Each structure stands twice: as structure tokens, then as C-alpha cells.
């Protein structure tokens, strides 16, 4: 399995721990945060135990204002429950972009944000994985977050292609998909893009993209491909019905498409 090409980095900076701060003094920067879920905050407030709240992560900006990096639901719950202060871990000297990166680092191993929130926060942070993904999507006139003629809904799948194989492979993946099936909702299906991306990521140096697109189309429309992938995955049983299995099935079908009409010695092994 290819190693991730992107990492999250922060400069050394001052951090103070266990500082009591006033709830009313804390601010939210929506560009460096996930979307606040009011119901989740209310649920926390309904059962709040102040001694078990832990610390929120705060950035103290040069003008002295305090911005929550992580812990906004606990902050909101305290406000709803009438608790005036909360303990904080305060970071100094960070830019807005670095606050966004700190948010991603803090949430990597905990309650992960939604992929689309991670994507938007990553753009704010200037994280190369998200910036490169956004650049390629913009090149193709696409947005990320919901599937449509001009939108890709498979956020995690798209980021996985870029992270494993690089932005150039993602660029080629979108080109091949559009040349094969034109622009439609089905064209940007996450399983199909994942299969094409995995194929190009592994065999791209041996493949002509226009020929690959023609061979893919010869095996059917995007809707037909999607149906076949779901059918083959479900035949593998419950443990083979997940997203990873479906992308693997799509990859195998791309291999089949590419190998059609080729001599045995020129075929690619799945």
C-alpha cells in the first residue's frame, strides 16, 4: 500500500496548559472549525459534568483575542448550561492557517470531523493535500461535497486518491472518467473514480489515457459499471460489501477493460 504523501506540520510555539478562561471571552473562526452541531452541544449540556469536561484548545492571537481550535461543542454546552469558565490549553503565535492545521492534528486520532469539514478546514490551513485536491477539482470545473453533474460527493475517496497517488493521478482520473462517460452524476461516483485512480496509480506509466477511456466506455455506461460493481461486491458476502471492496472491484473491472483485445504478454495482472 503506498504511503501517504502529505503530512500536517506546525512550528514550535509556546503552549500553556490548565488555564481557566471565561466562556464569554472565547470566539469561533468558522474557516478553521467544523460546523457546530447545536443538538450535540445541547446533549452535552443536558448531561454535563463540569469536572469531566477536560481542556479546550485555544489560540491566542496577536490582538489578544482567544479563538477555539478544538472543543467548541463543550464550549457551547457550558454556555447553554450556565457554566462561566472552562479549562484551556492555550497556544500562542499561530496564524489562522496554523490553527486549522492544529485542529486537524488534534482530531486525527479522536472524534474525526466530517470529511467535508476536514477538507474546508484543510484549505484554510493551506495543507497541500487539500490545496492540491481543490486545484485539480477547479481545473475540471468541479466542486467537492455533493454528487451532481459538476460535483463529486465522495470526499474521502477523492482525498484518498490524492494522498496515495498524487494530484497528477487524480487529474488523470477525472479526465479518463469524463472522456469515457461525459459529465453526469454517475461519472463522478466515488467507486468508479476510486477504481480508475487505483489503476492509474499502479499502472499509469504504461497506460494511454484516451485508450483507457475508450476501453472503459466499451464495457458500458457509468450507471452500468456502478451496477456491476455493486453486484459483484454483494456476491462476495457481507464482509465484501464495504467501500474498500467496491473500489477494489472497480479496479479489477478497469484491469479487465484495459486487457480486452491485448495479447497475453501485454496484459496487466490484477
Of 150, 159, 224, 227, the residue nearest 193 (C-alpha): 159
pLDDT tens over the chain, length 270 residues: 555 667 778 899 999 999 999 999 999 988 877 788 899 899 999 988 877 788 899 999 999 999 999 999 999 999 999 999 999 999 999 999 999 889 888 877 566 678 888 898 889 888 899 999 999 999 999 999 988 999 999 999 999 999 999 999 999 999 999 999 999 999 999 999 999 999 999 999 999 999 999 999 999 999 999 999 998 887 654 444 445 689 999 999 999 999 998 888 888 887
- Residue for cell digits 461486491? 233
In order of 59, 69, 92, the CA distances from 11 in angstroms are 14, 16, 11
Residues 140, 134: Cα–Cα separation, whole Å: 10
pLDDT score of 4: 60
CB 219 within 8 A of CB 253: yes
Residues 235, 201: Cα–Cα separation, whole Å: 27
3-state secondary structure of 9: coil
pLDDT score of 50: 78
pLDDT score of 243: 57
The DSSP output letter for 148 is B
In order of 112, 234, 270, the CA distances from 109 in angstroms are 7, 31, 33
Q: Could you please state the CATH topology (level 3) that the domain comprising 15-110 is classified under.
A: 3.90.1530
Q: What is the 3-state secondary structure (H, E, C) of 39-89?
A: HHHHHHHHCCCHHHCCCEEEEECCCCCEEEEECHHHHHHHHHHCCCEEEEE
In order of 27, 58, 87, the CA distances from 18 in angstroms are 18, 11, 6
Residues 172, 211: Cα–Cα separation, whole Å: 13
What pTM was estimated for this model as a whole?
0.66
Counting Cβ atoms within 10 Å, is residue 138 exposed (0-12), middle (13-18) or buried (19+)?
exposed
CB 226 within 8 A of CB 186: yes
Grid coordinates given for 40: 450535540
pLDDT score of 54: 86
CA 124 to centroid of chain Cα atoms: 14
Residue 256 phi, psi (nearest 5): -60, -45
pLDDT score of 118: 85
Residues 96, 118: Cα–Cα separation, whole Å: 15
3-state secondary structure of 261: coil
Domain boundaries, the chain: 15-110, 127-266
Q: How large is the C-alpha radius of gyration of the chain? A: 23
Of 27, 82, 70, 75, the residue nearest 53 (C-alpha): 75
CB 153 within 8 A of CB 147: yes
pLDDT score of 6: 72
pLDDT score of 5: 61
Amino acid at each position: 500500500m503506498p504511503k501517504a504523501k502529505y503530512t500536517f506540520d506546525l512550528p514550535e510555539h509556546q503552549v500553556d496548559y490548565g488555564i481557566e478562561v471565561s466562556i464569554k471571552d472565547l470566539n469561533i473562526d468558522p474557516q478553521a472549525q467544523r460546523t457546530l452541531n447545536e443538538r450535540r452541544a445541547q446533549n452535552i449540556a443536558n448531561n454535563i459534568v463540569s469536572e469531566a469536561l477536560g481542556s479546550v484548545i485555544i489560540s491566542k492571537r496577536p490582538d489578544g483575542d482567544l479563538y477555539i481550535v478544538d472543543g467548541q461543542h463543550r464550549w457551547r454546552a457550558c454556555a447553554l448550561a450556565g457554566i462561566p469558565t472552562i479549562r484551556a490549553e492555550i497556544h500562542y503565535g499561530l496564524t489562522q492557517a496554523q490553527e486549522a492545521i492544529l485542529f486537524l492534528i488534534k482530531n486525527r486520532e479522536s472524534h474525526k470531523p466530517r470529511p467535508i469539514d476536514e477538507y474546508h478546514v484543510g484549505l484554510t490551513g493551506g495543507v497541500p493535500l487539500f490545496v492540491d485536491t481543490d486545484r485539480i477539482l477547479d481545473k475540471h470545473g468541479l466542486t467537492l461535497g455533493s454528487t451532481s453533474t459538476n460535483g463529486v460527493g465522495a470526499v474521502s475517496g477523492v482525498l484518498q486518491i490524492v494522498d496515495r497517488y498524487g494530484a497528477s493521478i487524480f487529474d488523470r482520473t477525472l479526465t479518463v472518467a469524463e472522456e469515457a462517460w461525459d459529465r453526469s452524476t454517475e461519472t463522478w461516483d466515488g467507486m468508479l473514480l476510486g477504481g480508475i485512480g487505483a489503476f492509474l496509480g499502479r499502472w499509469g506509466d504504461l497506460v494511454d489515457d484516451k485508450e483507457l477511456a475508450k476501453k472503459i466506455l466499451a464495457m458500458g455506461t457509468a450507471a452500468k459499471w456502478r451496477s456491476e460493481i455493486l453486484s459483484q461486491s454483494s456476491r462476495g458476502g457481507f464482509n465484501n460489501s464495504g467501500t474498500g471492496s467496491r473500489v477494489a472491484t472497480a479496479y479489477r473491472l478497469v484491469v479487465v477493460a484495459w486487457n480486452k483485445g491485448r495479447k497475453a504478454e501485454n496484459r496487466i495482472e490484477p
